[in-house]
Each structure stands twice: as structure tokens, then as C-alpha cells.
Structure 1
Amino acid sequence: MKSVVVFCGSSEGLEREYTAQAYALGRFLAKQHIRLVYGGAKIGVMGKIAQGALDVGGTVIGVIPEFLKKKEVFHDSLSRLIVTQNMHERKLKMHELSDAIIMLPGGYGTLEEFFEMLTWSQLGLHQYPIGILNTNGFYDELLAMLRKMVGKGFVAQESYTMVMEDTDIEKLIDKMENYRPLPLPKWINKEQL
């Protein structure tokens, strides 16, 4: 992995561990010479992961749509800030700049970004490793819901196993570094991509 896009909240949440682990992940990625791509804000969980990487000399690229630039208070000390026209362009640019995906605690926007990238993987549009840093069990219920989708026949077991999860940063990164993508689903061929 050379460049990881991290989806996370522009709020800090109610538990200090959310921002503390985000800051630690930023530091860890930078020390591993892995570039951080994220939503561009200097507030919330987003701000902490960026600051963690920047504090140890990491490369951090923020991608933010014009209409959120002021609302989310963009980080003005980044290696690079890319301003897009809209949310769709933002996600596409984040995808283009990364080769792996991690989700930290966040809200609706975090889930929406993560699930679009997960869907793209399921459809064979990319083969990036996809991870959830499950801080303090934040995503336990979400993971249970995904297992329910498998059990009820809406998600294939193979698609479920595309998502790697851990509460420990180093263990999650190790899983992602060792990820081997599954073959394309039988109902998609390379000519369709």
C-alpha cells in the first residue's frame, strides 16, 4: 500500500478514543511512508488523522468539495488540498489517489463513502484492500448487519470477506497488506469494466 483513503467523521464523537486512535493511525501511516488521502477538514476525527500524519512529516492530501470548504473548516497545512465541484467528484478523486480504503468512526457521509467504494470492489471496478478500524467496537452492529445480509442471501460470503476489520491499527494494516483480491464475480467479465 502506498496511499490510503480514510473515510471518517468531521465530528469528534463522544468518546476521546475516536480522535486518539485517528491521530495514532495518521502517525502510523506516515511512519510507514503511506500517503494519507482524506476529506480535507481540520476538525473532528478528520482533523486528528491529518494532524497525526503531519506531525511526523507524512504526506497528506485533502479532497473537499467547494461547498464544504468553509463549513468543515479546511486544513491549511496539508501537503496538497484539492477542491472539487461536488461530492461525486470528491469520491472519484479520492479513489484515483489511493490504493487502499480505511473507515474510522463517522456518520452518514462516512458510511456512504465507504459503501460506495465497497460496492465498486464487489462489482470489480477496483481490487483495493478495504478495512474498518473498529475503535471501541463502534462498528460492531454494522458488522452484525453485514453478516445478517449474508445469512439472508443478499450479500455473498465472498463479498463479506472483502472487508477486513480490527480494533488494532498494526493488525489491521497487516491484514490489508496481505490482502489477496478474489476473482471477479461470475456475472461480470473484464470486457464489461
Structure 2
Amino acid sequence: MKIQSASALFRVAGMAALLGLTVGCAPQTQLLSSSSVDRPITLGLSAADFEQAAAAATQSMLESGAVERNDGKKHIMVVSSVLNDTMQRIDTDQLVKKIRVELLRSGKVMVTTAIGLNGAEDQMNTAFSELSQSRKVDRSTLVKQKLAAPNMSLSGKILQRNNRVDGNKELVEYYFQMTLSDLQNGLAVWEGEEQISKLGSAKGTSW
């Protein structure tokens, strides 16, 4: 019994040492702040790039007067297609969401979540319209749904162009192109383009 206990102790001690060694050798994780100074720079698109492009687009849109109204009402905007023409698998909503947030903060634009090219963005808009047909719902608690139609549409494209420089470096250029259209007449009332250029080693990848 004493020999078995000693053996068990050795096994426990060995496992603890192995666990300690594994934890000690594990790479440390760093929490980066929202400041672009703390963020590593890559040839690919980063959160800082989306923030820069979105801020530039929103500022240009607001300064152009395209979203101004004289009747005290707010424009209702719908998000159309924003195409990804880069070598990376990115979610264009990362750009659009930041633009939407800033436009809503401006108090001049509202965004519909009930209408879109692929149906309602918020599926609850569609589900709510079906509640009136359900016997399980107290109809006295239902509000009359009357969806607001958009009068403006936001569309765009993100492009990427790669070029070799001096044989061992690569210049990667990104173009964020956005268009705001008036749905009443189909005319573009604002267009903006933000360019972000990065120079790095040609051995690296930008996607």
C-alpha cells in the first residue's frame, strides 16, 4: 500500500509539473486598446482601416448637405449591396455598421431594418406581422404595424489593387467607394471614395 501511494504521488507530481510547463510555454494574449497606436499593422484590412473609411465617408456625407431636410423630418435609409472586390474574405457589414451608427448619431438619418434586397434585416419585423393571425396572442396588445418606406439607399464597393515595388516590396491599395441615392428619382446625391495604401514585404500576404 505504501509503494502504491508513493507511485500515485509521483504521477500526480509529474502531471502537475507537465501542466505547469504547458501553461508557462503558452503564448501570452494581449488585450489591445481601441487606439490605432496599439494595433499591429498588416497588409490586410484591419478594424482601424474600416474605422478610417467609415469616418471619412460619414463626415463627407454630412458636410455635403445630402442628408439635410428643411421640413424637420429625417431621411429613411436602406442599405443596398456593398460588394467585396478584394482578395480577402471580409464582411462588408463591418464598414456599413460604422457608417450607420454615425448617421443615426447625427440625428438626420434613420435606417430601416424591415426592408432590404434579401428581405428584412431584422426578421422580427416579418414575424410581428404574422402575430395578428395567431389565436395565442392577445390582440388588444398588438400595435398596428405600418412600415416606413425608405427614400434613400446606400450602396458601395471595396476594391483591392496589388503592385510590386522594387521587386521585394508590395504596394496594396484599398478603395472604399460609397454612393447615396435618392429613391424618388434614382439620382446619386452623394458619392465618396477613401483610399488606404500599405507598403510591405512581397513575401507576406494581404489576405
The answer, yes or no, to whether TM exceeds 0.5 is no
Q: Based on CA coordinates, which of the two structures has the bigger radius of gyration?
A: 2
**Structure with a larger share of its residues in strand:** 2
